[in-house]
Structure 1
Amino acid sequence: MRRTPLVGLFAGLALALTACGSGDGGSTTAADGELTGRGPITLVSGKDRSGNMQKMVAGWNAAHPKEPVRIIELPDEPNDQRQQLIQNATTKSDAYTVLSLDVVWTAEFAANRWLTELPKDKLDTSKLLPATVKTGEYRGRLFAMPVNSDAGLLYYRTDLLKKAGIDEPPTTWAQMWEACDKVRALPEGEDVDCYLTEVGKTEGLTVSAAEAVNSAGGVFFDASGQPAVNTPQARAGMDFLVNAIKDGRMPRAALTLDGEGGRRHFQSGKLLFHRQWPYQYELANADDGSSKVAGKFAVAPIPGPNGPGAANLGGHNYAISAFAKNKATALDFIKYMTDPAQQKADSLATSKAPTVAALYDDPELIEKYPYLPALKEAIQKAQSRPVVVRYGDVTAAIQSAFYDALGGKTPPDRALTDLQSKLAGLATP
Structure 2
Amino acid sequence: MGGTSRLVRAVSAVVLAAALGALAACGSSGSGSQGSGTGTVKMVLWPGPEGDAMAKVVSAYNAGQGKTDKIHIDMTLLSRSDTFSKEATLMATKSSEFDVYFTASYLVAQHAPYLQPLQGLDASRYFPSAVQSLQVEGKQYALPLDISNNFLYYRTDLINKLRTDPTWQASYARISQQLVGQSLTPKDPADWTWNDFIATAAFFTKKENPQSPTTYGTALQAKNLLFNTMIWDDVLWSFGGGWLDSSGKPALDSTAAHQAMQVYNTIYTKALTSPDSSQAEFPETQAAMTSGNAAMAIQWSAGYADLNNPTKSPTTAGKVGVAPVPGDKHQTHVHALAVAINNYGKNRSAAQKWISYLETPQAMTLYAKSGGIPAQPGVLSSLTSVNPVYTFIARDLSADGFSEPALPKTYDIYSALAQDLSGAWVGQQSIDAALKKADSDLGTLAAQKSGNK
Corresponding position: 1:418 with 2:418: no
Matched, 1:300 2:323: yes
CA contact (8 A) 1:129 1:380 kept: no
- Give the 3-state SS of the residue equivalent to 1:419 in structure 2: helix
1:271 paired residue number: 294
Moved more, 406-415 or 66-75: 66-75
The 3-state SS of whatever aligns with 2:362 is: helix
AA partner of residue 115 (structure 1):
L
Distance 1:291 1:89 in 2: 46
The equivalences for 1:396-407 within 5 A come to 396-407=415-426
Is residue 150–residue 333 contact of structure 2 (8 Å, CA) maintained in 1? yes
Offset of 1:368 from its aligned partner? 5.3
8 A contact 1:398–1:419 mirrored in 2:
yes
Pairs within 5 Å for 1:230-379 = 230-289=253-312, 292-304=315-327, 307-350=328-371, 352=373, 354-359=374-379, 361-362=381-382, 364-365=383-384, 369=388, 372=391, 375-379=394-398
Q: Is the 8 A contact 2:50 2:372 kept in 1?
A: no
Q: Find the residue that maps to 1:174 and give its secondary structure.
A: helix
- Residues 1:114 and 1:382: Cα distance change in structure 2 (over 3 Å): same
Mapped to 2, the partners of 1:195 and 1:31 lie a distance apart of 52
- Alpha-carbon contact 2:150-2:231 (below 8 Å) kept: no
1:374 is displaced (CA, Å) by: 6.5
Q: Counterpart of 1:13? A: none
Offset at 1:375?
4.2
Correspondence for 2:94: 92
Q: CA deviation at 1:385?
A: 1.9
3-state SS of 2:240 partner: coil
Match of 2:192 in 1: 171
CA contact (8 A) 2:230 2:414 kept: no
Return the TM-score normalized by structure 1.
Answer: 0.80
Q: Distance in 1 between matches of 2:29 and 2:117?
A: 13
The aligned residue for residue 79 of structure 2 is 74
> 2:290–2:316: 8 Å Cα contact kept in structure 1?
yes
Distance in 2 (CA, whole Å) between partners of 1:213 and 1:97 is 38
Sort the Cα spacing of 1:219 and 1:115 in 2 relative to 1 into closer, same or farther, 3 A. same
Q: Which AA in structure 2 matches 1:358?
A: G
Aligned to 2:119: 119
Runs of 5+ consecutive residues of structure 2 not aligned to the other structure: 1-26, 165-186, 449-453
Tell me by how many angstroms 1:168 deviates: 2.7
What is the alpha-carbon distance in structure 1 between the residues aligned to residue 278 and residue 46 of structure 2? 26
Q: Which residue of 2 aligns with 1:143?
A: 141
**Alignment match, 2:107:** 105
Local SS of the residue matching 2:301: coil
The residue number in structure 2 matching 1:393 is: 412
- Whether the 8 Å CA contact 2:268–2:427 is kept in 1: the answer is no
Structure 1, 341-350 or 196-205: larger mean CA deviation = 341-350
Shift of 1:72: 1.0
Q: Determine which structure has more spread, i.e. the larger CA radius of gyration.
A: 2
Q: Secondary structure at the match of 1:220?
A: coil
Partner of 1:32: 31
Residue equivalent to 1:20: none
Q: Distance in 2 between matches of 1:44 and 1:374?
A: 24
Q: Which has the higher helix share?
A: 2
1:83 aligns with 2:103: no
Secondary structure in structure 2 of the residue aligned to 1:299: strand
Question: C-alpha displacement at 1:243, in angstroms?
Answer: 1.9
Corresponding position of 1:207: 230
Structure 1 position 81, deviation (Å): 4.8
User: Does the Cα contact within 8 Å between 1:203 and 1:399 map onto a contact in 2?
Assistant: yes
- Where 1:273 maps in the other structure, the secondary structure is strand
Query: How far 1:146 moved relative to its partner?
Result: 1.6
Matched to 1:36, the amino acid is G
Match of 2:245 among 219, 222, 228: 222
Q: Which amino acid aligns with 2:115?
A: L
Q: Which deviates the most, 232-241 or 313-322?
A: 313-322
Letter of the structure 1 residue corresponding to residue 149 of structure 2: A
Measured in 2, the distance between the counterparts of 1:165 and 1:269 equals 19
Provide the C-alpha distance between the structure 2 equivalents of 1:96 and 1:263, rounded to a whole number of angstroms: 36
**Helix, strand or coil at the partner of 2:40:** coil
Post-superposition shift, 1:228?
1.2
Identity %: 21
Does 1:131 pair with 2:129?
A: yes
Distance 1:94 1:130 in 2: 31
Offset at 1:258?
3.0
Correspondence for 2:446: 427
